[in-house]
Amino acid sequence: MKTPWNDSALIDAFDADFSALVEFASASACPAGFGYLDADGAITESKGVELWITCRMTYMFALAEMRGVQGVSGLVEHGLDALSTSLHDDEYGGWFSALDATGEQARPVEPIRKEAYAHAFVILATAASYLAGHERGRALLDEALADQDAHWWEPSYGRVANSWNRDWSECEEYRGLNANMHTVEAYLAAFDATGERRWLDRAREMMRFVADLGARFGWRLPEHFDKNWVVCPEMFIENPADPFRPYGATPGHGFEWARLILHGRASLIACGDTPGEWMYDVAHCLVDRADADGWDSEKGGIVYTTDFDGKTVVDTRMHWVACEAVNATLALGKVSEELGNDDDVMVQSERFARYVAWADQVIHAGPGRWIHEVDADGHESETVWAGKADAYHVGQMLLLPRIGLYPGFAAALAQVRAHDHSEL
């Protein structure tokens, strides 16, 4: 069956835009790491240098290096320099969340917090750098993984804590699904880079929690919990448009969890395991719910958040949500192909094509330039995300048609590069 994600013209167009995206993102390099780009691609100095952005950029440049993009190896090294020096807490360990880089020397933003969300991206960046051939990335990866055991992983729950103060003496009582989602992604990358099975097993444990949570809440995933992982569905209702802790359910995270669960499924199969039907079924339920609640059939686009009855709360459309919708339907469609479910392949093909068309028409501003936020009418807005600071979601969307679901992005590209070199 012909599917849109296998169309050679689309894959070639994605390849060309990936190279343009990397060129645009390269302007984010600054002395202390990678900065926050505005809409025109200039660094917003007032935003400082954030750990999660520096890690995501380092990760993207490592992927680009393995994809054969020229001139990015030095940017990977620059990211590793930042993770070794300016962003690294030499006194207490771990990494600073943000730096004020307006003075002669960058310094941590007060009050200093260490966040699971950003530390997950340290793993992602260092794993990809190591797989791209930057040997010192392995030492940083090992340190980041040891830090997971020391401070983040909570064995009694099978999930990670959310944040600490600088000296690790005070753990925030809040627990969040977003940080755990990106930790799943990080642990899958750690498994790819190290071959250590415990990282895959931990990722699966978090996926199983999401499966049970989704079944309880009609596949609208609650994001916020207390320290004992009791759901707090009304938390942050006073600030529904927060970029990291919005009230309600986030359809984009439903798509993203679905993709990650299918990556985990593929990893388990590659290990010789039989992962169980629940992983495909849960991914399907999450995608179905996210599409039903999130897609605006009148104006197009996927809303940012809903309540737990599926009613829209924030109707702003985020670029990352569209990217994850594209990736999730591709992943689900590929697994449906594998299982011989032709009817579902047709469903996911329609969704994939619909999401790609909307993204190309509304948020693709030009080669390598993606508008991060538009309002319900498709006009550029900045209520949640200003500028063009993030290349990570778009970059993975542009790469996924080229690779399978296992191994993950970095390891898959490393395999392709090794194969290409072997034929020279």
From the candidates 78, 151, 224, 393, which is the catalytic residue?
393
* Tokens describing residue 93: 């360990």
Rounded distance between C-alpha atoms, residue 111 and residue 100, angstroms: 12
Class of domain 2-417: mainly alpha
* Tokens describing residue 213: 């949570």
Answer whether 406's CB lies under 8 Å from 72's CB: no
Answer whether 157's CB lies under 8 Å from 136's CB: no
Rounded distance between C-alpha atoms, residue 241 and residue 282, angstroms: 27
From the candidates 78, 151, 253, 284, which is the catalytic residue?
253
Q: Is 253 labeled as catalytic in the residue annotation?
A: yes
Answer whether 37's CB lies under 8 Å from 390's CB: no
Q: Is 393 labeled as catalytic in the residue annotation?
A: yes
3-state secondary structure of 153: strand
Domain ranges of the chain: 2-417
Q: pLDDT tens track of the chain, all 424 residues?
A: 899 999 999 999 999 999 999 999 999 999 999 999 999 999 999 999 999 999 999 999 999 999 999 999 999 999 999 999 999 999 999 999 999 988 888 999 999 999 999 999 999 999 999 999 999 999 999 999 999 999 999 999 999 999 999 999 999 999 999 999 999 999 999 999 999 999 999 999 999 999 999 999 999 999 999 999 999 999 999 999 999 999 999 999 999 999 999 999 999 999 999 999 999 999 999 999 999 999 999 999 999 999 999 999 999 999 999 999 999 999 999 999 999 999 999 999 999 999 999 999 999 999 999 999 999 999 999 999 999 999 999 999 999 999 999 999 999 999 999 877 665 4
Looking at residue 420, what is its pLDDT? 76
Nearest to 154 by CA among 132, 127, 175, 136: 175
Nearest to 394 by CA among 17, 2, 6, 4: 17
Look up the pTM and report it.
0.98
